[in-house]
Amino acid sequence: MKNFVVPIDFSNESLNGLKMAILFSKKKAVDIQMIYVLVKSNESSRPKMENELEYAEENFNKILKEYTPLLGKDSRLEYIIKSGRIYQQVVEQASLKPDTVITASTHGASGFQEFFIGSNAYRIISATDSPVITLRKNECPATISKIVMPIDLSSDTRQKVPFTTEIAALFGAEIHVLGIYTSKSPYYSKKMKTYVSQVSGYVEGRTNSVIHEVHGDNVSDLVVNYSAAIDANLISITTETTAGISLIIGNTAHQILNKSDCPVLCQTPKALRKAGTFVSMGG
């Protein structure tokens, strides 16, 4: 978490991604890079404007003036303007520096909404090796005090534990280890309790944790409803798996991203493998 890349389209909604990055800057020194991608008229439905480069530079300078004083000590804020396909440029920029997190709004007044809403949202999340924190239209939280971390029987979702715990420790947040039960099978229940216990044991050595179990068929509703009930500030999910009833980059992840009122941290197996796996949870 040394670097943050924030896609900006100058809408109020897109600034939520910047506010999230600034929230992290108050806890540790980070470099935040905002990115605006110039329109290619043959590749986007977004209307091309005259003097777009001048427009972008003028707006970035306004943002720098307003938000730089809000940064934590020794953190930096800058911008870059690129040209090309939006999601590709965002992913490429994030890949230039290690330990990068992308923070982005899922709504915007211009072209970004076509890349962060619906099926196109998966393109940036699945194409990057960096964790992605998405925010909807709601304001960025003032802090991160409660994180919901759903756990199922897949190895992929459990591998997100170290990075989620790192964020929790940074903010002094409480992690709610949420066991997802979609089957009443005794074998499933026994194995799930083992995994949840292992996750909680890992978390407890670094920050506080709470274990809770939810039962039902609609995983996204179980996660979103529980998060709303405890007033969580972040949901941590993995977005791809090879087997199991997991929070995959498909219908369940899509629904969580679009239903959750609080930010969602998305990690893909590529990012997880790069960051290291929770090896004590084999099986």
- State how far the Cα of 9 lies from the Cα of 89, in Å rounded to an integer: 14
177-205 mean pLDDT: 90
Structural domain including 188 reads 146-281
pLDDT tens figures, 144-186: 999 999 998 876 777 889 999 999 999 999 999 999 988 888 8
Per-residue pLDDT band for 77 (boundaries 50, 70, 90) equals: very high
pLDDT at 33 over 60: yes
Shared domain for 25 and 110, answered yes or no, is: yes
Residues 58 and 175 in one domain: no
Phi then psi for 127, rounded to 5 degrees?
-90, -15
92 assigned to some structural domain? yes
Whether residues 154 and 116 fall in one domain: no
**Whether residue 99 is found in the same domain as residue 207:** no
Q: Is the confidence at residue 41, as pLDDT, over 80?
A: no
Q: Say whether both 130 and 193 belong to one domain.
A: no
| Model pLDDT, residue 281 | 42
Residue 12 lies inside a defined structural domain of this protein: yes
Considering the domain boundaries, does residue 141 fall inside one? no
Taking residues 26-30, report their average pLDDT. 96
Query: What DSSP state is assigned to residue 169?
Result: H
Q: What CATH number should be reported for the domain holding residue 103?
A: 3.40.50.620
Give dist(CA 237, CA 250) in Å, integer: 12
User: Quick one: 158 and 42 in the same domain?
Assistant: no
Average pLDDT, the chain: 83
Residue 192 phi/psi, 5° resolution? -65, -45
**Domain end point (choices 89, 114, 135):** 135
Contacts of residue 62, defined as CB under 8 A and 6 or more positions apart, other chains included, come to none
Least confident of 128-137, 201-210, 218-227, 269-278: 269-278
Q: Per DSSP, what are the bridge partners of residue 215?
A: 181
Query: Is residue 243 assigned to a domain?
Result: yes
- Checking if the pLDDT of 43 tops 80, the result is no
**Mean per-residue pLDDT, 69-80:** 96
**Per the structure, how many domains does the chain have?**
2
More reliable by pLDDT, 110 or 129: 129
- 120 occurs within a structural domain: yes
pLDDT value, residue 182: 86
Burial class for 75, CB neighbours closer than 10 Å (0-12, 13-18, 19+)? buried
Is residue 140 one of the residues assigned to a domain? no
Structure tokens at 157: 């979702």
CB 116 within 8 A of CB 107: yes
Residues 181 and 128 in one domain: no
Please, are residues 217 and 209 in contact by the beta-carbon 8 Å criterion? no
Same domain, 100 and 226: no
Which of 252, 243, 235 minimizes the C-alpha distance to 147? 235
What are the Cα distances from residue 229, in Å, to 8, 221, 224, 260?
Answer: 31, 12, 9, 12
Query: Final residue of a domain: which of 100, 135, 170?
Result: 135
- The beta strands (E) that lie in 117-219 are given as 132-135, 146-151, 174-181, 209-215
Mean pLDDT of 32-53: 71
> Does residue 181 share a domain with residue 81?
no
Asked whether residue 151 falls in the same domain as residue 277, the answer is yes
Q: Which of 84, 102, 135 is the last residue of a domain?
A: 135
Q: Is position 237 within any domain?
A: yes
Decide if 37 is inside a domain: yes
How far CA 263 is from CA of 16, 138, 178, in Å, comes to: 10, 9, 17
Distance separating alpha carbons of residues 148 and 228, to the nearest angstrom: 10
237 and 150 part of one domain: yes
Same domain assignment for residues 109 and 202? no
